[in-house]
Structure formats: C-alpha cells, structure tokens
Amino acid sequence: MVQHSFATRVVSVLKNDQSVLGLAVAGSWLSNEIDEWSDLDLIIVTRHSINANKAQMVAYAERFGHLLSAFTGEHVGEPRLLICLYNDPLLHVDIRFVTLDEFKDRVENPVVLLDTNQQLQDVIQATRPNFQMPDYQCIEDRFWTWIHYALLKVGRGEYMEALDFLAYLRMVVLGPLLHIKNNNLPRGVRKVETQLSAPDFKALQNTLASNQKASLLTALQNSVTLYRSLRKELFPDNIR
C-alpha cells in the first residue's frame, strides 16, 4: 500500500532529526482497514511546540514528498493539524504536530513508528485515550429548535438550506447516536454503511430527501421519529 511506503519514508526523514521525539500513525491504520481510498493520519511529536508556526509545519511536510497543497485545520477545530495533498503517488496525508505533553490528549492509541527514547510508549502506557462522547442534554436542548428552523426554511421555499440542515442533523445527532447504539465510537456518519445494523441504516436513509417540499417534510418527520426512538433507548432519566 502507498500509505505504508509513505510512512516508511517519513520515518527515514525524521529518525535523525534531533527536534523530533517520535512519529505515530492513527486512523484506519489501527484497524488494518487501509485501502486505495484511505488517507494517512500521522502524528509528529516534537521536542518544542511548532504548531503555531504554519511555515515550519509546511517545511516538515515538504521533506516527505512532492507536496501539492497544505493548509491548517482551523475549520475542524484543530490548528495543530496540517492537511496535505501529495503527488507521485497522489495521497491525502493529515499530519498533527504535538509536543510530548499534548500527545497525552488523544482519542485512540496510535501505532508508534518512531520513538527515540521510548517516550511515546511511556505516555501510551501511563495514560488513557478519551473520545469525546455526545452531550445528550446539549442535543435535547437544541433538537426541537433546529427542527423548527428547518420547517421555516421549507415553508419559505429554501429547500437547499433545508437539505444542508438534514445533513448536519445526521452528522451531529443521528449518526453519532446510531453509532453508540451499535457499540461504535460516535464518529458522525463515517462508515455507517458497514457499521450499523440493517434496520438502523435504513432508518438513517429515510432522513434523506430530494429538493422538493413533500420529500423534505417526510425526511424531517422521519428524523424526529428516529431521534425519539434513540432518545428513549440511549438517554438516561435525568435528561430533560
């Protein structure tokens, strides 16, 4: 796989860099699910923080291959992330730059590819990953106002806006809750095609709509029905 070859090249570039403590890889690498469509999720642990210096982050990325484009991840709430597109081969690579102390804060245990003084392994053994779970009360406080908002958009004829809202609802509410119901991490709608039960995936499909009033209203009603079902099954009694 090109992802493995690329990671091997990064190790060779960084192994003699005195400012780098280690390199780890996360994402689909951990579950051996890498295929030709997969990106590569790298974590570079540096001795001193460089994640406020985009030029320095890009300078590292340029050492790894033919870099076509790179930008930081403020749009996903992670400015320490450099999102890269390489050529020869064409490959999407996400590189997160962290210090050893920041490496403790993680959502999963990555595979360590380079560890100069066993410091990364020591952190992994001494700390636990923490995936941020949905706040059920936060969802309940917002859900019905969101539905009302979407109905206003349909009523006004802003169907594209309503379609975008339904996608947002699947990403932040319905997808995560269905993943939890199916004993998965609540990663939005990622891999719902393969990780949800057939009835649950069908229920999620029923929230899809076309750019027409009747279809949008049906999808919104199906979203409400699905949410009520998930709320009854998942939410504790103290959620008001």
| pLDDT for the residue 77 | 84
Q: What is the pLDDT of residue 32?
A: 80
What rounded mean pLDDT belongs to the chain?
95
Nearest-angstrom CA–CA distance, 192 and 38: 16
Kindly report, residue by residue over 197-227, the tens digit of the pLDDT. Answer: 999 999 999 999 999 999 999 999 999 999 9
pLDDT of residue 5: 95
Apex 15 CA angle, 97 and 130, nearest 5? 35
pLDDT tens, 29-57?
887 878 889 999 999 999 999 988 999 99
The model's pTM: 0.85
The arrangement of strands across the sheet holding 40-46 comes to 66-73, 78-87, 91-99, 40-46, 20-26, 111-115
pLDDT at 112: 96
Q: How many CA atoms lie within 13 A of 140 on its CB side?
A: 15
Q: Tokens for 139? A: 């969802």
